[in-house]
């Protein structure tokens, strides 16, 4: 059985680890918020919307084909999985809000191309 001092030390270690995880999560959240407000992202987003409109005749969800907005510019490979692809034009597709929220960061299907 651990002594009181050992138990308190273990609790302090766990609290420090939890604080470090919370700080890291806050950093990721701030980085993401700053990124989505940045001019490079807004330019890429606009270019993707424009290319989608030229391809389909009107802005169209690449996943379900809906022409009802609002639309999101979705990262095919989620940024939580590969931050380096955040401004890669090949890593974005247009998705309606429902499809984008349904996808979340759980898969990396490129809906722009027909299924193999």
Among 17, 25, 64, 90, binds Zn ion (CB under 5 A): 64
CB of 65 to Zn ion, least distance (A): 7
Of 3-11, 38-46, 75-83, 90-98, which part binds Zn ion (CB under 5 A)? Answer: 90-98
Half-sphere exposure of 63 (CA within 13 A, CB side): 23
Of 17-25, 47-55, 66-74, 79-87, which part binds Zn ion (CB under 5 A)? Answer: 66-74
User: Which 8-state DSSP code applies to residue 90?
Assistant: G
Report CA 91 to chain centroid distance, whole Å.
11
Q: How far apart are CA 64 and CA 60, in angstroms?
A: 8
Instruction: Please report the sign of the dihedral spanned by the C-alpha atoms of residue 36, residue 83, residue 81, residue 49.
Output: positive
Among 60, 77, 96, 111, binds Zn ion (CB under 5 A): 96
Among 44, 61, 76, 92, binds Zn ion (CB under 5 A): 61
Q: How far apart are CA 33 and CA 101, in angstroms?
A: 17
Binding residues for Zn ion (CB under 5 A): 61, 63-64, 66, 96, 99
């Amino acid at each position: 059985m651990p002594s009181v001092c050992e138990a308190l030390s273990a609790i302090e270690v766990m609290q420090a680890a939890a604080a470090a995880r919370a700080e890291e999560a806050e950093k990721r959240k701030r980085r993401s918020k700053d990124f989505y407000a940045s001019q490079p992202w807004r330019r890429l987003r606009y270019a993707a919307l424009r290319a989608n409109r030229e391809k389909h005749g009107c802005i169209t969800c690449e996943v379900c084909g809906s022409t009802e907005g609002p639309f999101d510019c979705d990262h095919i490979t989620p940024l939580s999985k590969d931050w380096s692809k955040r401004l890669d034009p090949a890593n974005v597709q247009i998705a309606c809000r429902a499809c984008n929220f349904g996808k979340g960061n759980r898969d990396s299907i490129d809906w722009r191309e027909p299924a193999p």
